[in-house]
Structure 1
Amino acid sequence: MPIRSDAQKRWVELEFLVPGTPEQVWHAIATGPGISAWFAPTTVDERAGGKVEFTFGEGVTSSGTITAWEPPTRLVYEEHGWSENAPPLASEFVIASRSGDRCVVRLVHSLFSTSDSWDDEIEGFESGWPGFFQILRLYLRHFAGQNAAAARALRAAPGTHAEVWKQLATALGVHGPNLGERRSAPAGAPPLTGTIEHVQQDDETCEVLLRLEQPAQGIALLGSYRWENKARVAVSLFFYGDRAADIAAELEPRWRAWLEARFPASAEQKANA
């Protein structure tokens, strides 16, 4: 949707349909264990005035204060200092029940500024959510309420976005993906077998979403994206069940080492290190 504005703020709205009752969806988007199961490791002090904190890896965190806590229908939190010199940012989630144990979730990101100088960031919020919404849908459909743990690996990669995606997809056995196909990573890559559930490929982002069988039951988001006129690769793995934490802890360093070997630093990156 286009960016909207009034005399106080600029904002963007998104809506998405997910399976589950309002109570199940609320747990997934408004509690620490729920958000951690499909987005990023998160802690939530579940009350108005409480703190919500996200951990994105590589020392990057973001935190906010809950300004509206109305289970199981509405959550609002406000972040200050989320980017250098940035105005406050409010995020509002509203859950509306639909027939057949489904819910519509409306998300509004509001930036308290009348200047268009932050529009790129607002558009980035809008483009960044769809892949995680797909993970949320799979989580609610297949793994809702289970113990969860995530493993992540990120890597800056030399070359164009298209070149980097082709390298990553080929190395992990997901090049030329079709929905519903079962794919496995070839020898030399960490273990990865699953069914393709979602594909996105455009000038900014290329992603494949797998519902995993191996190395354990879970979800994998494999992708590359533009980053400061360069390219980055990202692997996000979500595991569920009693052994989820052990599996994630074992595999995260393995994936980081594999990405480092597959995408070695360029001479420029080494010089700036």
Structure 2
Amino acid sequence: MSVKKDASGRRSVQTEFEVHGTPEEVWKAIATGPGISSWLMPAEFEQRDGKPVALKLKFGSGMEPRSAVTTWDPPRVFAAQSDGLVPGSPPVATEWHIEAKAGGTCTLRIVHSLFASTDDWDDQLEHVESGWSAFLRTLQIYLTHFRGQRSTLVNWMIPVAGTESEAWASLTAAAGLTGASVGQRWTAPAGVPELGGVVEYVSERPYDILVRVDNPAPAVAAFGAVDMGGSSMVGLNIYFYGDQAASNAARYMPLWQAWIQAQFPMLSQAQAHATG
């Protein structure tokens, strides 16, 4: 999506899509720590005098971006401002707008914006937008199939040798996901920890595949690869849902840890994180 520009210097990109749930249910998913942790990353709001003032996300490996809350109008609008992606770049503001629709659904509109007098930072907005894609699809899956359930996230982000595309090819080949398509029934092949479900999302650049898991436990498994400043990374997030989410995460985390270390032995120090 192209960057929209106006006379004030505001440059923005926005995305809009439909989600299941009432405005109150959608608000809980996008504007509470447990809700955000169910589809994005472990999150918590800092409070002052009973009001949220900042949102902190925990991506692991010391990455804990903090965003100042600038608008708080439940269950309609929530906005926050964070530092730019690179030193010296303008802060990026993100707005979340919820609009009730018929049939128990809502329209969720997300706007990323910054102020600049030149086009120098337009690619920053485009990177922000593309980086959200798989997470927002996970949010849709969560609100459709697991809304309001407890969740526990197990996640890995592992540096690997080679290019981003080579890392993706290695990951998908090892997981039996090469050539996966939306709607396909997928079962992990021999040598991969037990996992099976329906492929819900496939993206090439950014490289992402989401599987809505029903075996051996309710979950969403997110496989991805990304170039982080010249270093290729592969990622795996498994969001377990339901009353047994924590126990299922504890049961299957060691199996996936062993598999990842076998696939990427040069980085056997990679560790799993379980939160929820």
Alignment TM-score, normalising by the size of structure 1: 0.87
The residue number in structure 2 matching 1:10 is: 11
Structure 2 Cα separation of the partners of residues 190 and 19 of structure 1: 31
**Which stretch shows the higher mean deviation, 94-103 or 248-257?**
248-257
Match of 2:95 among 82, 92, 100: 92
Match of 1:163 among 157, 163, 166: 166
The residue number in structure 2 matching 1:105 is: 108
The residue number in structure 1 matching 2:228 is: 227
Structure 2 Cα separation of the partners of residues 199 and 82 of structure 1: 25
**Distance verdict in 2 for CA 1:81–1:13, change over 3 Å:** closer
**Distance verdict in 2 for CA 1:74–1:181, change over 3 Å:** same
Match of 1:55 among 42, 53, 58: 58
Deviation at 1:19, TM superposition (A): 1.2
**Distance verdict in 2 for CA 1:247–1:86, change over 3 Å:** farther
SS of match in other structure, 1:108: strand
Is 1:215 matched with 2:191? no
Contact 1:152-1:237 at 8 Å conserved across structures: yes
**Distance verdict in 2 for CA 1:160–1:87, change over 3 Å:** closer
Deviation at 1:229, TM superposition (A): 4.2
Deviation at 1:126, TM superposition (A): 1.0
The gaps in structure 2 that reach 5 residues or longer are 268-276
Deviations 1:224-245 (A, max 9, x none): 2333345321111101112212
**Distance verdict in 2 for CA 1:253–1:118, change over 3 Å:** farther
Is 1:185 matched with 2:188? yes
Structure 2 Cα separation of the partners of residues 3 and 197 of structure 1: 28
Contact 1:5-1:114 at 8 Å conserved across structures: no
Deviations 1:136-169 (A, max 9, x none): 1111111111111111111222233333322211
**Distance verdict in 2 for CA 1:20–1:57, change over 3 Å:** same
**Which stretch shows the higher mean deviation, 142-151 or 164-173?**
164-173
The gaps in structure 1 that reach 5 residues or longer are 267-273
Structure 2 Cα separation of the partners of residues 77 and 128 of structure 1: 17
Give the counterpart letter for 1:37 in structure 2. Answer: S
Deviation at 1:67, TM superposition (A): 1.4
Between the two proteins, what is the percent identity of the paired residues?
A: 39
Q: How many residues align?
A: 264
The residue number in structure 2 matching 1:22 is: 23
SS of match in other structure, 1:13: strand
Deviation at 1:254, TM superposition (A): 4.4
Is 1:75 matched with 2:78? yes
Structure 1 Cα separation of the partners of residues 39 and 63 of structure 2: 18
Give the counterpart letter for 1:109 in structure 2. Answer: H
Contact 2:21-2:143 at 8 Å conserved across structures: yes
Contact 2:85-2:124 at 8 Å conserved across structures: no
Contact 1:154-1:233 at 8 Å conserved across structures: yes
Alignment TM-score, normalising by the size of structure 2: 0.86
Which structure 1 residue ranges, 4+ long, deviate > 4 Å from structure 2? 45-49
